[in-house]
Amino acid sequence: MAKKSTRRAVRPAVRKTAAKAKAGTKGGEAAKVKPAKARAKAGKKALGGTTPAWTKAEIEEAFRRFRAAMPEPRGELHHVNPFTLLVAVVLSAQATDAGVNKATPALFALADTPQKMAALGEDRVRDLIKTIGLFRMKAKNVVALSQRLIAEHGGAVPDTREALQALPGVGRKTANVVLNIAFGQPTMAVDTHIFRIGNRTGLAPGKDPLAVELKLLEAVPAHYMLHAHHWLILHGRYTCLARKPVCEKCVIADLCKWPGKTSFAAPARA
Ligand code: SF4
């Protein structure tokens, strides 16, 4: 009985708080977030190509702010050389960087070169990365690509897209990441975050990752290209989130064209 009366006492208070947040009387930013239905509708509208295009000046300003907020952005996949970077990116397909980073220290302690990885063998690699999604296929690819690097590139990671994409398990996005981080090339690796931002904000709308990549390569000023992919990924990972973007803390809120955004002002520090 006592339990029942406690629940009765708590429920009205909870209801009152929820109602306050919904009405926006207090509770600040949470109250401003549009409901999921409205955000989904706005997302569809953006995907339909109805979002206004950005001007050159707006794009320049957006990247100026990204750079001001983070002058030297870094990727979040742990690696110690171009080979371990390549392996980490291959492992990160359909997995989180955090999940990959949990498994790779043990793997790279044993094998930080193609020779050591090939010698380790598929069974052992599979065991070391079994916490990562699709680990069986990835173990096979990591060992096969190591063997190909030894046979065709003297054990070095090649610095061209063609040679990288010819390796097992390496697609365009992986090649772009390696070319950018390991070789300082101004590539644009479009992952789920950049694909979403390109379409949602109207910065680079496109039906598939390649279309978004080509639009970004055309739109982003050359002097920002080296770091552009990192700025956009980090923006998508921590601010322009898929389900509930944190527009009120977004440094490009005033520039963004998304009809579903919940803030129209750039923070003062922008
Ligand atoms: S305002 Fe910023 S966080 Fe919100 S949708 Fe636009 S880019 Fe994303």
Report how far ligand 1's centroid is from the alpha carbon of 133 (Å): 30
- Would residue 191 show up in a list of annotated catalytic residues for this protein? yes
Select which of 138, 173, 215, 261 is catalytic: 173
77 neighbors 102 (Cβ within 8 angstroms): no
Name the average pLDDT for the chain: 87
145 neighbors 167 (Cβ within 8 angstroms): yes
- The answer to whether the CB of 194 is under 6 A from ligand 1 is no
What is the model's pLDDT at position 49? 63
Task: For 73, list phi and psi in degrees, rounded to 5.
Answer: -70, 145
Who contacts 112 (Cβ-Cβ below 8 Å, separation ≥6)?
80, 81, 83, 84
**CA distances to 63, 78, 84, 119, 219 from 223, in Å:** 10, 26, 28, 42, 12
Pocket test for ligand 1, best of 66, 258, 263, 264 (most atoms within 8 A of CB): 258
In order of their start, the domains of the chain are 36-73+188-249 (1.10.1670.10), 82-181 (1.10.340.30)
pTM score of the predicted model: 0.82
CA distance 124 to 11: 54
CA distance 174 to 87: 10
Poorest-pLDDT segment among 32-46, 104-118, 184-198:
32-46
- The answer to whether the CB of 240 is under 6 A from ligand 1 is yes
More confident residue, 203 or 269: 203
What is the model's pLDDT at position 20? 38
186 neighbors 180 (Cβ within 8 angstroms): yes
- The answer to whether the CB of 220 is under 6 A from ligand 1 is no
If you search the block for the tokens 């002002």, which residue do you land on? 265
- The answer to whether the CB of 33 is under 6 A from ligand 1 is no
What is the model's pLDDT at position 127? 98
Q: Which residue has a Cα nearest atom 8 of ligand 1?
A: 240
What is the model's pLDDT at position 265? 82
Q: How many residues does the chain have?
A: 270
- Would residue 112 show up in a list of annotated catalytic residues for this protein? no
Q: Which atom from ligand 1 is nearest to the alpha carbon of 200?
A: 5
Give the pLDDT mean for 136-164: 98
245 neighbors 256 (Cβ within 8 angstroms): no
Give the pLDDT mean for 164-182: 97
What is the 3-state secondary structure of the chain?
A: CHHHHHHHHHHHHHHHHHHHHHHCCCCHHHHHCCCHHHHHHHHHHHHCCCCCCCCHHHHHHHHHHHHHHCCCCCCCCCCCCHHHHHHHHHHCCCCCHHHHHHHHHHHHHHCCCHHHHHHHCHHHHHHHCCCCCCHHHHHHHHHHHHHHHHHHHCCCCCCCHHHHHCCCCCCHHHHHHHHHHCCCCCCCCCCHHHHHHHHHHCCCCCCCHHHHHHHHHHHCCHHHHHHHHHHHHHHHHHCCCCCCCCHHHCCCCCCCCCCCCCCCCCCCCC
Report how far ligand 1's centroid is from the alpha carbon of 206 (Å): 18
Amino acid occupying residue 241: L
What is the model's pLDDT at position 162? 98
Report how far ligand 1's centroid is from the alpha carbon of 86 (Å): 31
178 neighbors 82 (Cβ within 8 angstroms): yes
- The answer to whether the CB of 253 is under 6 A from ligand 1 is yes
- The answer to whether the CB of 256 is under 6 A from ligand 1 is yes
What is the model's pLDDT at position 37? 73
Report how far ligand 1's centroid is from the alpha carbon of 235 (Å): 9
Q: Which residue has a Cα nearest atom 4 of ligand 1?
A: 247
